[in-house]
Amino acid sequence: MKNKYLFLLAAFFGLSGLHGMEWPTQEGLMSRNFGWNDHGKPVLGVCFEVEGPIRAADAGEILFYSDPENTASQLPSPLGAWVALDHGDGLVSIYSRFDEKSLPETLSLVEKDTVIASSGKSGWSDDGGFLFSLFDRRERRWVNPSMIITPLPDTKSPNILSVTLSNGNNKGITLSPSPARNTISQGRYTVSVEVSDTREGNGDRQLAPFRIVCSLNGVELSYLNLETFSVRDGIAMAYRNSLAPVQQVYAPYPAFEIGDIAFTRGQVTLEIIALDSVQNPRNEIYRLQVD
Going residue by residue through the chain, which has 291 residues, state the pLDDT in tens, using 9 for 90 and above.
Answer: 444 444 444 444 443 344 489 999 988 899 999 999 999 999 999 999 999 999 999 999 998 877 555 554 444 446 778 899 999 989 999 998 888 777 766 668 899 999 998 887 766 666 678 999 999 999 999 999 999 998 888 899 999 999 999 987 767 899 998 777 899 999 999 999 999 999 888 888 999 999 999 999 999 999 999 999 999 998 999 999 999 999 999 999 999 999 999 999 999 999 999 999 999 999 999 999 999
Q: How far apart, in whole angstroms, are the C-alpha atoms of residue 102 and residue 116?
A: 8
Rounded Cα gap, residues 97 and 16, in angstroms = 30
Question: Alpha helix (H) ranges present in the chain?
Answer: 2-13, 246-249
Identify any residues that bridge with 109 across adjacent strands, giving them in sequence order: 61
**Cis previous bond, 78, omega within 30:** no
Q: Which residue from 67, 205, 57, 80 is spatially nearest to 130, judged by alpha carbons?
A: 80
Residue type, 65: Y
Q: Tens digit of pLDDT for each residue in 256-288?
A: 999 999 999 999 999 999 999 999 999 999 999
Which domains, ranges and CATH numbers included, belong to the chain? 2-147 (2.70.70.10), 159-290 (2.60.40.10)
Contacts of residue 180, defined as CB under 8 A and 6 or more positions apart, other chains included, come to 287
pLDDT, residue 124, reads 64
Look at residue 106 in the predicted model and tell me its pLDDT: 64
* Residue 141 near residue 42 (C-beta atoms within 8 A): no
What is Dmax (Cα atoms) for the chain?
Answer: 70
Residue 37 contacts residue 59 (beta carbons within 8 Å):
no
Angle at 36 between CA 30 and CA 40, to 5 degrees: 140
Residue 74 burial (CB < 10 Å; 0-12/13-18/19+)? exposed
pTM of this structure: 0.87
pLDDT for position 230: 96
Q: CA-CA-CA-CA torsion for 183, 186, 191, 193, nearest 10 degrees?
A: 10
Closest C-alpha to 171, from 185, 152, 161: 185
Give the per-residue pLDDT at 82. Answer: 87
Separation in Å, CA 153 to CA 30, 33, 75, 201: 13, 15, 32, 9
Q: 115-157, pLDDT tens digit by residue?
A: 998 887 766 666 678 999 999 999 999 999 999 998 888 899 9
Cα separation, 119 vs 26, in Å, equals 13
Where residue 20 falls (left for φ over 0; alpha for ψ -120 to 50; beta otherwise) is: alpha
For the chain, state the CA radius of gyration: 20
pLDDT at 67: 59
Backbone angles phi, psi at 220, to 5 degrees: -70, 120
Distance between CA atoms of residues 165 and 23, nearest Å: 38
